[in-house]
């Protein structure tokens, strides 16, 4: 997708790897607990099996919509999923990227 003039390219947030890791942990653990295959979660959530795999491998950061739909497929309340992500984030803090702009402050 082309950028409009005057807009800078979207850069990932420094905490994206932390959120990805926390969500992946919940996704994998709950999918295994329910003995579901990736394609079953994909079918129930409306996302592709490839996307579910990418979330589990921490390649993509889930959108709010994805988090809600995937939570439903995993028989989790999305509010609980979000709470669990927030609780797990400190465990993955080491993955947080340095913000090069913050070094200038």
The tens digit of pLDDT for each residue in 45-81 reads 999 999 999 999 999 999 999 999 999 999 999 999 9
Query: Which H or E element spans position 60?
Result: none
pLDDT digits 0-9 by tens, 29-45: 999 999 999 999 999 99
CATH class of 16-93: mainly alpha
Please report which helix (H) or strand (E) contains residue 40, including its range.
helix 38-45
pLDDT at 103: 46
pTM given for the model: 0.82
Q: Band of the pLDDT at 92, cuts 50, 70, 90?
A: very high
Q: For the chain, how are helix, strand and coil distributed in percent, rounded to 5?
A: 60, 0, 40
Q: What are the boundaries of each domain within the chain?
A: 16-93
Given this model, what pLDDT does residue 101 score? 57
Both tokens of 40, joined, read: 């079953």
């Amino acid at each position: 997708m082309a950028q409009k003039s005057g807009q800078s390219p979207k850069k990932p947030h420094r905490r994206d790897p932390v959120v990805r890791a926390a969500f992946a942990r919940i996704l994998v653990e709950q999918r295994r607990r329910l003995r579901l295959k990736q394609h079953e979660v994909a079918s129930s959530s409306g996302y592709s099996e490839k996307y579910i795999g990418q979330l589990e491998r921490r390649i993509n950061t889930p959108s709010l919509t994805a988090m809600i739909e995937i939570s439903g497929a995993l028989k989790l309340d999305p509010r609980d999923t979000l709470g669990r992500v927030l609780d797990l984030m400190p465990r993955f803090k080491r993955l947080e990227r340095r913000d090069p702009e913050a070094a200038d402050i």
